[in-house]
Amino acid sequence: MSEANSLVPIMGSELLVNKTQMTWLDRLANADRENVRFLADWCNRNLKTTAELGTLLRQSNGTFYSPDSVRKFFRGARVNENMGPILQSIADWVKLEREREGQATHDHVDTRTNKRIHQVCRKALRRSEMGFVFGDARIGKTWGLKNFMKTESSARVVYVEVTGASLGSFLRELLEAFGVKRTGSFAAMEQELIARFDKNTLLIVDEAQNGFPAKSYRTAPPVFRFLKTLWNKTQCPIVISMTDEGLQEMLNGPQKKFFEQILGRKCAQAKLPRKLPDDDLDRFAAHYGLPPAPDRPSKIKVETMGDDGELRTSVLTENPYALQSMINSTEGLAIWICLLRDANDLAKDQGKRITWGAVIRAHAAMTNEERTFE
């Protein structure tokens, strides 16, 4: 996630770390100054409560610096103390976080499916309207939406996943996305949320099919009714993502007239294919230095440890194209990306270039093979 990204979980209207109070940074060496600024920006983007400041920086004895200690540091209250230990802790944390971010950035792949998801988000944001992303489970909707959040630096984005049809649960989860915990009445929570959204804040609602009641219903589902109210009162852009089953419930369910009012607003929509196109999967392969998956059997040697502790070598035959198709249809894009990462790491550890043999070995390891090699 880039430093410029404004996906900022906030507390009320204030940032967790007030950088305007950090004029004391000029006393630090350039490297230390940049590390502290990086940490401050990261905290403002990712943390929801001050208590979470106490889960970041380890002292030399292995314990964490307390939230109060970290806050005092940011405010400059420790400038007259020996700041060497905490600056070293920050440097260690920044190094690890940059490695994590490098891995996350590495997974940005400009596929056709991803572009369609991003187009819906940008149109909704530009026009202050609702947008919809429809597609089968495991097709990569969540991956594409979160990828948009990572790469879009010009918008404030709030993401929430629908876990059930309960309005109360949804409102609380949405407030928690702002770093606020509330247990008051539905009306009070709704009003607080309405006050927090505007035309410049994009709301992404993922797994929205979970917002349909399991039993028969005669009125509009509460989660969707609130989203409509939120848009009517704030004109905030909203992107709703759901499975094809959710789409069918909208079109043919007992409240289809309610949903026709929403869909009839010429909102941006993307209906994703039932399976990722081969050229999208080819782009993922190329991203990791692989050619398109060959549609022919490939043999590798696999060494496994039996229950008796003895190592045994066997030959595993796998068709890379069939493996790619099977995982993406049964497990989903997220698992496939994880597998490509594992294969890439495996090849690097061996000082080799990644091959489809490495992907097969990584898959064997993922399915509980103890050790694999070509």
The DSSP call for residue 135 is -
- Asked if residue 221 is part of any domain, the answer here is yes
Say yes or no: 172 and 156 in one domain. yes
Which of 367, 363, 361 lies closest to 303, judged by CA?
361
Say yes or no: 120 and 234 in one domain. yes
pLDDT at 256: 86
Say yes or no: 364 and 266 in one domain. no
Say yes or no: 237 and 308 in one domain. no
- Asked if residue 185 is part of any domain, the answer here is yes
- Asked if residue 286 is part of any domain, the answer here is yes
Domain boundary among 224, 239, 271: 271
Residue 241 pLDDT grade (very low, low, confident, very high; cuts 50, 70, 90) = very high
Say yes or no: 117 and 75 in one domain. no
Q: Over the stretch 48-105, which tens digit does the pLDDT of each residue have? A: 677 888 888 888 887 888 988 888 888 888 888 888 999 999 998 888 777 665 544 4
Say yes or no: 95 and 120 in one domain. no
Domain boundary among 271, 302, 331: 271
Say yes or no: 44 and 100 in one domain. yes
Taking the alpha carbons of 369, 106, 202, 117 in that order, is the dihedral positive or negative? negative
Q: Is pLDDT of 283 > 80?
A: yes
Say yes or no: 163 and 183 in one domain. yes
Say yes or no: 176 and 252 in one domain. yes
Q: For a pLDDT cut of 70, what percent of the chain falls above it?
A: 87
Q: Is pLDDT of 157 > 80?
A: yes
- Asked if residue 38 is part of any domain, the answer here is yes
pLDDT at 122: 93
pLDDT at 240: 96
- Asked if residue 142 is part of any domain, the answer here is yes
The CATH number of residue 252's host domain is 3.40.50.300
Are 33 and 25 in contact, with CB atoms under 8 Å apart?
yes
Q: Residue 181, Cβ neighbours under 10 Å: how many?
A: 10
Cα(268)–Cα(327) distance, rounded to whole angstroms? 30
Which of 121, 111, 116 lies closest to 204, judged by CA?
121
* Spacing of C-alpha 164 from chain mean position: 20
Could you tell me the CA-to-CA distances from 263 to 37, 213, 258 in Å, in that order?
A: 44, 20, 9
pLDDT at 75: 85
Task: Residue count of the chain, please give it.
Answer: 374
- Asked if residue 56 is part of any domain, the answer here is yes
Say yes or no: 102 and 116 in one domain. no
Say yes or no: 282 and 265 in one domain. no
Q: Is pLDDT of 10 > 70?
A: no
- Asked if residue 91 is part of any domain, the answer here is yes
- Asked if residue 195 is part of any domain, the answer here is yes
Highest-pLDDT range among 13-17, 172-176, 300-304: 172-176
Report the predicted TM-score, pTM, of the whole model to 2 decimal places: 0.64
- Tokens representing 79 are 């400038």
Q: Is pLDDT of 209 > 90?
A: yes
Lowest mean pLDDT among 9-18, 91-100, 136-145, 339-348: 9-18
Specify which residues 206 forms β-bridges with. Answer: 161
Are 53 and 40 in contact, with CB atoms under 8 Å apart?
no
Residue 214: domain span? 112-271
Of 137 and 115, more confident: 115
Lowest mean pLDDT among 225-239, 277-291, 302-316: 302-316
Q: What's the total number of domains in the chain?
A: 3
Q: Over the stretch 28-38, which tens digit does the pLDDT of each residue have? A: 888 888 889 88
Domain boundary among 237, 254, 271: 271
pLDDT at 43: 84
Which strands sit side by side in the sheet containing 311-318, from one edge to the other?
311-318, 298-305, 371-372
Say yes or no: 319 and 204 in one domain. no
pLDDT at 143: 86
